[in-house]
Structure formats: C-alpha cells, structure tokens
C-alpha cells in the first residue's frame, strides 16, 4: 500500500522509519500515522508505551525479556520459514503456505493475550487488503499451546476503530503513565517512573 502524504502542516508527523527491530512488522497508513502490528499490540498494553514507541523513543532492544523471546523463537523453530518478509513491509515469525496460508507469531507467555490476538488480527487485515486469504496462529512454545486466530467482520470492525484510536493517541500529547503490575518488566519502566510524579 502506498504511503499517504500529510497535507496538514500544523501537525507534527511521526518518523516514517522508526529505529526498531522489523520482526512482527506490517504497516498501513491512517492519515499521517503509520500503523503497525507492534503499535496495535501496545495499544492493548499501555498507551504511554504506544506514544513513546511511535515517537522513536525505543528501549525494547535493550530489554532482557525481548531478547529471551527472540532467542526462544530462533531455537524452537529452526526448520520453519522464519522471519518471512513480504513486500518489504511485513516480517512475520514464520509462515506456512501449504493449503491455506497460516501466519504464525511466537510468544513467551499468555499474560498479554489480548495484545497478541490484536497484533495477529492486524496482520490478517493487512493480508486481506492485499487480496490474500490467511489465518493466524499464536504459538506459546513454553506452554506447548497454540491459539488459532481468524479475521471476522466483527473483530475487523473493532480493529479499524482501534486504528483510529491509535492515530489520536500518537498525534496527541504523551499520555501520563499509569502504574500496572506489568510495569516493572517493561523496557520503559525507568523512563516512566524514575523520580516521576505520575500515578503510583
């Protein structure tokens, strides 16, 4: 899909090439905002994290949990078609192409299951816009479990509304951090709460 130009000079536009690992990356445009699978996932985790990531404040590369997840993916699925890049815009964990196309994402735990589902639904939505029918699978190798994901009119409608919400968040002011149980393991924890007066 072609990139859309921002004709509103009064608004700041986020960088088109954020310095992030491209794994699990697919993009569409909503006005001046680049929407990716990672951003859809962050929308369900933390709006502050979504905003920071969208403005090129990326700390995930240094986070130990992220590195563990990448190593798990590499070790467990060596024989699969891993990190498949499609159209220079999308890189997924691995892909099955026999019969129905199946897009696989590898996750460590199910603690943020909703964000995992939303991210994979976004990839299915992206494939659909390219005229490709596909289904999704979330792999939890440490749990020896998988979860099948299918794009339906209902969840696609919800996804489209979430994309609009993401656009508003990214174009607005940074949301104040709200402390959650998952915060201490987040790569942005020190950024958000070290010496801050935000919600505790």
Per-residue pLDDT tens for 34-58? 888 889 999 999 999 999 999 999 8
What's the rounded Cα separation, in Å, for the pair 182 and 185? 6
Q: Is the dihedral of CA 98, 2, 171, 18 positive or negative?
A: positive
Specify if 157 maps to a domain.
yes
pTM above 0.85, yes or no: no
Does residue 129 sit within a domain? Answer: yes
**Which residues, 6 or more positions from 104, have their beta carbon under 8 angstroms from its beta carbon?**
77, 80, 92, 93, 94, 95, 96, 136, 137, 138, 139
Is 114 among the domain residues?
yes
Is 155 a member of any domain? yes
The number of distinct structural domains making up the chain is 1
- Residue 20 within any structural domain of the chain: no
- The per-residue pLDDT for range 63-104, each reduced to its tens digit, is 445 444 454 545 555 555 455 665 545 668 888 888 889 999
Residue 21 lies in a domain: no
Write out the residue range of the structural domain in which residue 48 sits: 27-191
Report yes or no on 169 lying in a domain.
Answer: yes
Give the mean pLDDT of 1-13: 42
Judged by average pLDDT, the poorest of 27-36, 98-107, 165-174 is 27-36
Q: Buried b / exposed e across 10-34, counting CB within 10 Å, b at 16+? A: eeeebeeebeeebbbbbbbbbebbb
22 domain-assigned: no
Q: Is the dihedral of CA 43, 38, 49, 70 positive or negative?
A: positive
Helix (H, G, I), strand (E, B) or coil at 60: helix
pLDDT at 114: 94
| Of 93-97, 104-108, 125-129, minimum mean pLDDT range | 93-97
Tell me the CATH number at 83.
3.90.320.10
The residue among 146 and 65 whose pLDDT is bigger is: 146
């Amino acid at each position: 899909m072609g990139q859309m130009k921002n004709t509103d000079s009064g608004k700041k536009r986020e960088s088109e090439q954020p310095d992030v690992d491209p794994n699990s990356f697919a993009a569409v445009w909503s006005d001046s905002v680049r929407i990716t699978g990672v951003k859809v996932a962050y929308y369900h985790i933390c709006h502050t994290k979504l905003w920071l990531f969208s403005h090129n404040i990326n700390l995930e590369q240094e986070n130990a949990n992220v590195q563990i997840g990448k190593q798990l993916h590499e070790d467990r699925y060596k024989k699969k078609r891993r990190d498949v890049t499609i159209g220079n815009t999308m890189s997924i964990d691995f892909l099955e192409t026999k019969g129905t196309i199946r897009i696989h994402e590898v996750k460590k735990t199910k603690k943020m299951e909703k964000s995992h589902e939303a991210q994979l639904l976004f990839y299915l939505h992206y494939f659909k816009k390219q005229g490709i029918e596909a289904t999704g699978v979330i792999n939890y190798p440490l749990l020896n479990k998988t979860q099948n994901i299918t794009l339906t009119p209902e969840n696609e409608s919800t996804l489209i509304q979430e994309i609009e919400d993401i656009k508003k968040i990214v174009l607005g002011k940074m949301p104040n951090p709200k402390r959650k149980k998952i915060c201490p393991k987040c790569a942005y924890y020190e950024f958000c709460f070290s010496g801050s007066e935000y919600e505790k």
